[in-house]
Amino acid sequence: MTGPHILRWLLWAGIASACLLTAATLSSPLWLGPLVARQASAVLGRPVAIGRIVLRPVSPLTITAEDVSIGNPPGFPTREEPLLRLSQLEVQWGIGAYVRRREIVIPSIELTRPVLRLVALPDGRKNYGSEFGTGLLDNLAGSKIGPLRIQDGQARVSLADLQAELELKTETVDGSDLGPNAIRAEARGTYAGEPTLATLLAGGGRDRYEPSASWSFELDLTNGRTQASAKGLVQQPLKPRSAALDLSISGPDMALLNRLIGVSLSHTPPYDLRGTLNYLENRFQFDGITGRMGKSDVQGTLTVVSGRERPLITADLSSRSADLRDIASLITGEPGPPGTPGQTPEQQERAEQVSQAERSSSRVLPRRPIDMQRLRRADTDLVYRAESIKGRSTPFDDLTMRLEIVDGAVALRPLSFKVGKGRISGDIQLLLEAEEVVRGRGTIRFDRLDLARLMLATGRHQGKGVLSGAARVEGTGRSLAEILGNGDGGLTLSMVDGDLSKLLVDLAGLRLGSALLTTLGGEQRTRVECFLADMELRRGTLSTRALLLETEDAVTQGQGTVDLKRERVQIRLRTESKRLTIGVLPTSLLISGSLKSPNAAPARSGGTGGAIVDFFSALPTIQMGIGEDPRCERLVRRARRN
């Protein structure tokens, strides 16, 4: 990742240069400045200039180089400053240990006024790279290197690809809790196009000759509205192999981290998370996560594995209490509902716009295109559980889901909601079929759903019973609305026993007299003998094969269609009383209009006669009753067999 790579450069470029200079000086019988510079240039593949070299033949041997400059690689623009300039470099070398045991011992390295210049051009060329000094550092892996001291260090960083312009100051501080000769660095400027301020305190090596074994780090970073702090240990900072840091991070949107960490994350609501960050050979694991995202609390583990064709993100997360709108925001990329804590003014404005658009739109199904190309940037395996769901209007009690993304192919299985003592579970798959066209396939099962919980969510009517069934759909499109609008499949729902609001049933059957008695204090519930909805989906249109509701005193039959492409509904309900009933309109109830705002009214009689026929057909009549009618129960048994 670029951020840690640059940080390693700032801390250790001086050490690599010092070690290279020491080896080059002592391996050549000609240690005059120009000759040493020429030998160093050959090793580094870039120009090196040394003003003067002074040797003090004491124990340990002290080598001082003045006016050292390491230039840029061949072909780099000549107007750019050199990679590194040093007013003075002083290296102590334990020559006795080398003569006796062929062991390299460097008691200390001191850099005076080093100026580091890191540049990445818009065309991709860089004046730095991971190969610089790598071979030398590998050869020095078993060496004993003492403390590094920096006086008045500076660095300028210009990275076109990361929109970074940073000024850094570095120096050695004494008396720090991190040990002797700790290094303090401060960076100011912009990174990823955002104002940035970072402070780093790094120190290690209580053992004089093993500072590279384990270093303590304290980092505070502000990048735009993202804030992070980390504290812990890094093993072998010359070539970091492992780290363990206590990390706190917060911000308005995790997608703002993409350029900081080099991994593509989805847009999220504002977040505030804490945990332990462990690193081991391209594997970052965020353990013991606690905090919040939007209005939902979050706990669990997140792991990112880099160094692959596509990064692999795995997560096992849970919430004690979750807001479904936060989860929806992770899918839609929106900033969450209005009033989410931590939203920026821009996010608040966007949230209001989305909310207003949803209220004013005549559509219900999501029409936002599914960005499958973004999903292909990383492979994902996410397990999430919510113990409870916030919101009085939601019938859901909990949530369990597993999201798998492999090369852009999405599988959401299981997706499971608890509803009372029952459950809604699903298996959903998305696959990029052509440019921007997605093939979606889904199966939803309704297992013993608690009708009381569903009716409670409406806030208007009551009921109880157990509802079961299944839905399936397969279609293509650029959005969920298009997939359903082009889809094939079906829907089956059934219920045996239970009860409903008697007023609701009476009004659906246009039984005005019975409805009036109910409102005046009559019986409030009516027992449901059975209910069946069996509908076929063809090219986005749901058509009724059977729609029946049988209560203890009436049978309601429905017929019609639901057009998912245009989001229009037209269903006729005809109710026949089982017993003598007064005040019944001798016509059917027509439910029509949009899915979002359907209308219910008596159906026109049609035919000749015009207004006179309509007038007489609208007069309440007496319905003598049809007696017991077992057809609903027979159809339920048949649907369950199918």
**Mean pLDDT within 564-568:** 92
- In this predicted structure, the answer to whether residue 132 has a pLDDT above a threshold of 60 is no
- Predicted pLDDT at 134: 53
Q: Which residue's entry shows tokens 């200079």?
A: 21
Q: Please classify residue 628 by burial: count the beta carbons closer than 10 Å to its beta carbon, then call 0-12 exposed, 13-18 middle and 19+ buried.
A: exposed
Percent of the chain with pLDDT over 90: 29
In 3D, which of 122, 220, 202 has the Cα closest to residue 164? 122
| 354 membership: H or E segment, kind and range | helix 345-360
Single-letter code of the amino acid located at 122: P
Q: Which residue's entry shows tokens 């570095």?
A: 170
Packing angle of the helix pair 2-26, 33-44 (nearest 10 deg): 140
Confidence at 324, pLDDT banded by 50, 70, 90: confident
Tell me the per-residue pLDDT of 450-502, one tens digit each, with 9 for 90 and over.
877 777 766 555 667 788 899 999 999 999 999 999 999 999 988 777 666 54
| 271 membership: H or E segment, kind and range | strand 271-280
Pick the residue with more confidence: 64 or 589? 64
Beta strands 105-106 and 144-145 are parallel
C-alpha span between 542 and 537 (Å, rounded): 4
**Mean pLDDT within 166-171:** 93
Q: How many CB atoms lie within 10 A of CB 7?
A: 21
**Mean pLDDT within 36-64:** 83
- In this predicted structure, the answer to whether residue 2 has a pLDDT above a threshold of 90 is no
**Between the CA of residue 419 and those of 448, 455, 489, what are the distances in Å?**
9, 11, 24
- In this predicted structure, the answer to whether residue 325 has a pLDDT above a threshold of 70 is yes
What's the chain's average pLDDT? 78
**Mean pLDDT within 168-178:** 81
Single-letter code of the amino acid located at 460: R
Confidence at 229, pLDDT banded by 50, 70, 90: very high
In 3D, which of 395, 495, 496, 501 has the Cα closest to residue 453? 395
The set of residues, in sequence order, having a beta carbon less than 8 Å from that of 571 and lying 6+ positions away, is 544, 547, 558, 559, 560, 561, 562, 590, 591, 592
The set of residues, in sequence order, having a beta carbon less than 8 Å from that of 218 and lying 6+ positions away, is 178, 200, 201, 202, 230, 231
Tell me the per-residue pLDDT of 371-388, one tens digit each, with 9 for 90 and over.
777 777 789 999 999 999
Confidence at 19, pLDDT banded by 50, 70, 90: low
Weakest mean pLDDT among 26-40, 104-118, 332-346, 605-619: 605-619
C-alpha span between 332 and 339 (Å, rounded): 18
Tell me the per-residue pLDDT of 423-436, one tens digit each, with 9 for 90 and over.
999 999 999 887 78
Tell me the per-residue pLDDT of 206-216, one tens digit each, with 9 for 90 and over.
554 554 467 78
Weakest mean pLDDT among 75-84, 96-105, 392-401: 96-105
**Between the CA of residue 351 and those of 257, 322, 347, 357, 368, what are the distances in Å?**
21, 18, 6, 10, 15
**Mean pLDDT within 574-582:** 62
Tell me the per-residue pLDDT of 329-362, one tens digit each, with 9 for 90 and over.
777 667 677 777 777 777 777 778 777 877 778 8
Confidence at 613, pLDDT banded by 50, 70, 90: very low
Tell me the per-residue pLDDT of 94-115, one tens digit each, with 9 for 90 and over.
777 766 777 778 888 899 999 9
Confidence at 119, pLDDT banded by 50, 70, 90: very high
C-alpha span between 601 and 589 (Å, rounded): 6
- In this predicted structure, the answer to whether residue 394 has a pLDDT above a threshold of 90 is no
Following DSSP, what letter does each residue of 432-500 receive, concatenated? EEETTEEEEEEEEEEEEEEHHHHHHHHTS--EEEEEEEEEEEEEEESSHHHHHHT-EEEEEEEEEEEEE
Confidence at 608, pLDDT banded by 50, 70, 90: very low
